[in-house]
A and B are shown apart, each in its own frame.
Chain A
Amino acid sequence: MSGTSITGEATEETLPAVVAGAHAAGAARRSQNRKPRTPIWAVVVLAVSVVYFLLPLYATAVFGFSTGKAFTLQPLFDGLGDDGFHSALILSLTYSIVTTVLALVVVAPTAYLVELRFPRLRATVEFLTILPFVIPPIILAVGLSSVYGINSPVNLISSDWAPVLLYGGYFVLTLPFVFRAIDNALRAVDVRTLSEAAESLGANPTRTFLQVIVPSISLGLVSGALLAFTTAMGEFTLAALLGYPTFPVYLLNVNEYSPHVGKALVLVSFLITWAGVIALAAVARRTPGTRVVRGGPM
Chain B
Amino acid sequence: MSRLELVNVCKSFGDQPAVSDFNLTVENGELVSFLGPSGCGKTTTLRITAGFEAPDSGAVIVDGIDVTDLTPNKRGMGMVFQGYALFPNMTAAENVEFGLAVRKRAPAERRARVAELLELFGLSHVAGSYPHHMSGGQQQRVALARAVAIEPGVLLLDEPLSAVDAKVREELRTEIRRMVTQLGITTILVTHDQSEALSISDRVVVMNRGAIEEVGTPGQIYAEPRSAFTAGFIGAMNEIPVRVVSGAQGVVERAGRRVTVQGAAGLADGEPALLLVRPELIEPLNAANGTLNGDLTLTGRVEVQTFLGATTRLLVREVRQGDENQSVLPSARRLAVDVPSAAAGNWPAGSEVAVRIPVGSSRVIADRSAVSPAPSTGPAAPPA
Contacts and interface: CB of A to CB of B under 8 A. Distances in A.
A and B pair up:
yes
Contacts of B81: 193, 196-197
Interface string B51-80: 010000000000000000001111111110
Interface in A184-243: 189-190, 193-194, 196-204, 207, 211-212, 215-216, 218
Contacts of B139: 293, 295-296
Nearest to B75: A200
A190 B136 contact: no
Nearest to A290: B88
A297 B135 contact: yes
A216 B131 CA distance: 12
Contacts of A218: 89
A199 B156 CA distance: 14
Contacts of B50: 196, 200
B164 A293 contact: no
Nearest to B140: A295
SS class, residues of chain A in contact with chain B:
loop
Nearest to B163: A295
B84 interface: yes
Given A199-B72, A200-B72, A298 B135 contact: yes
B273 interface: no
Contacts of A296: 131-132, 134-136, 139
B130 interface: yes
A43 interface: no
Interface string B78-92: 110101111111100
Interface stretch (B96-104, B325-333, B342-350): B96-104
A211 B156 CA distance: 23
A198 B84 contact: no
A212 B89 contact: yes
Interface in A263-298: 288-298
A203 B85 contact: no
Given A196-B52, A290-B88, A291-B132, A298 B83 contact: no
Interface string B32-61: 000000000000000000101000000000
B98 A203 contact: yes
Contact of A293 (B73, B79, B131, B156): B131
Contact residues on A (Cβ < 8 Å of other chain), bracket: 20 to 34
Given A201-B98, A202-B99, A202-B150, A295 B79 contact: no
Given A197-B81, A293-B86, A207 B136 contact: no
A50 B74 CA distance: 60
A293 B88 contact: yes
B15 interface: no
Contact of A193 (B85, B90, B150): B85
B67 to A, nearest CB: 13
A204 B88 contact: no
A201 B130 contact: no
Contacts of A298: 135-137, 164-165, 168
Given A203-B98, A295-B164, A298-B164, A198 B87 contact: yes
| Residue of B102, B137, B164 ringed by the most chain A CB atoms within 10 A | B102
B231 interface: no
A199 B47 CA distance: 13
Most buried by B among A199, A200, A204: A200
B164 A189 contact: no
A189 B89 CA distance: 11
A47 to B, nearest CB: 40
B24 to A, nearest CB: 20
Contacts of A193: 81, 83, 85
Contacts of B75: 200
B110 interface: no
B89 A289 contact: yes
Interface string A121-134: 00000000000000
Nearest to A292: B88
A218 B77 CA distance: 29
B83 A294 contact: yes
B134 A203 contact: no
Nearest to A294: B83
B264 interface: no
A125 B89 CA distance: 28
B147 interface: yes
Nearest to A218: B89
Contacts of A293: 83-88, 131-132, 139
B254 interface: no
B138 to A, nearest CB: 9
Interface string B125-154: 000001110111101000000110010000
Contact of A202 (B73, B86, B89): B73
Nearest to A208: B73
A288 B147 CA distance: 23
A190 B85 contact: yes
A196 B83 contact: no
A33 to B, nearest CB: 24
Given A198-B98, A200-B78, A201-B150, A295 B84 contact: yes
A216 B85 CA distance: 12
Interface in B189-228: none
A216 B89 contact: yes
A288 B164 contact: no
26 contacts: A196-B72, A197-B85, A197-B146, A199-B72, A201-B99, A201-B146, A202-B74, A202-B99, A202-B102, A203-B102, A204-B73, A207-B102, A212-B87, A212-B89, A215-B90, A218-B89, A289-B88, A293-B84, A293-B85, A294-B84, A295-B84, A295-B164, A296-B134, A296-B135, A297-B135, A298-B164
Interface of A: 189-190, 193-194, 196-204, 207, 211-212, 215-216, 218, 288-298
Closest 4 CB pairs of A and B: A215-B89, A289-B89, A201-B99, A295-B163
Given A202-B103, A288-B89, A296-B131, 15 more contacts: A193-B81, A193-B85, A196-B79, A200-B50, A200-B79, A204-B73, A215-B89, A289-B130, A289-B131, A291-B88, A294-B83, A295-B139, A295-B163, A296-B134, A298-B136
